[in-house]
Amino acid sequence: MATDFTITALNDATDSENRMHSDEVAARYGFAGALVSGVNVFGYMTQPLVAEFGAEWLSNTGFDVRFLLPAYEQDAVSVTSTKAEESMQANSRHRIDTCASNQHDIILARLASWPLGSIDSSRSQAMRVQAKQEAAIYEEAARPELSWDVIHLERAAPTWHWTPSKEDNDRHVEAQRDPAACYRGAGALIHPYFLLDTCNRALMRLYVLPAWIHVGTVGSMIRAIKVGEAITVDCRPIERWERKGHQFIRLYIAMFSQDDLVFEAEHTAIFSIAAK
């Protein structure tokens, strides 16, 4: 299979706390202008996949998205998806490789996706127990500004009780200009853009991050989440490192509907950007 899709990138700015989505701040770090969020680009990349496979692609699917270079406002982002070479002869859906490029044929992001096998929820269940044992109460005013020394690896954050609203989902769908019917009406599913935006917000619930860059997420969409569904979100920092002057953080995030694991991911961002 092969799919082609092109859309004009727009900075939705639902992530208003990230100043990298402003021209002035982005320029300080050597960028040509405000960055369109990676989660927005991820949403663009899922559109031809949902068009090809339907809402089934939003369940029982593993994915690995890497953001290589930024997309800017008004970039013409072209998305192409093909079966991975080793799957070309298969009759069923196997790994799909998706690429997003700009109008200069520069690759901005790569996404691999594949059907999941059996799910081991022991890691997420253990974090869930740890979050309950911490018994901490989330206080937005108490968030520290993210720096190397305030990251406590393997410490679970307070559980976030999240109910995705129709209004929030509609805003993400409209920002994507996505016509897929599965995000509308009775039983609407939350958009993948909204899903990964929520992972960003899990990070922002822990820390103040004035300027940062989402660089990739590896995750499992075990079951599509519905608008209005009561979801618990647990997370903890699992890794920090420095490379080429940048400082990185990785979160492990798990989402449950009652006692059923519906989503988990490792979500990576640059929280301290090297000076230019």
Mean pLDDT over residues 41-51, rounded?
A: 96
pLDDT at 27 (0 to 100): 57
Best CA proximity match to 194, nearest among 155, 158, 159, 233: 233
pLDDT band at 230 (very low <50, low <70, confident <90, very high): very high
pLDDT score for 240: 98
pLDDT of residue 135: 64
The band of 90, judged by pLDDT with boundaries at 50, 70 and 90, is very low
User: 28 or 47, which is more confident?
Assistant: 47
**What does the alpha-carbon distance between residue 161 and residue 163 come to, in Å, rounded to a whole number?**
7
- Domains of the chain, CATH where assigned: 2-272 (3.10.129.10)
Q: Residue 92: what pLDDT? A: 47
- The DSSP H or E segment spanning 169 is helix 166-176
Question: How does pLDDT run across 238-262, given as a tens digit for each residue?
Answer: 999 999 999 999 999 999 999 999 9
How much is the average pLDDT of 83-88? 63
Tell me the average pLDDT across 22-40: 71
> For residue 108, with 0-12 CB atoms within 10 Å meaning exposed, 13-18 middle and 19 or more buried, which class applies?
buried
C-beta separation of 193 from 42 below 8 A: yes
pTM across the whole model = 0.91
Of 66, 39, 63, 41, the C-alpha closest to 202 is: 39
122: left (phi over 0), alpha (psi -120 to 50) or beta: alpha
Mean pLDDT for 83-96 is: 63
Residues 6+ apart with CB under 8 A from 117: none
Q: Per-residue confidence at 88, pLDDT binned at 50, 70, 90?
A: very low
Type of residue found at 160:
W
Report whether 196 contacts 39 (CB < 8 A): yes
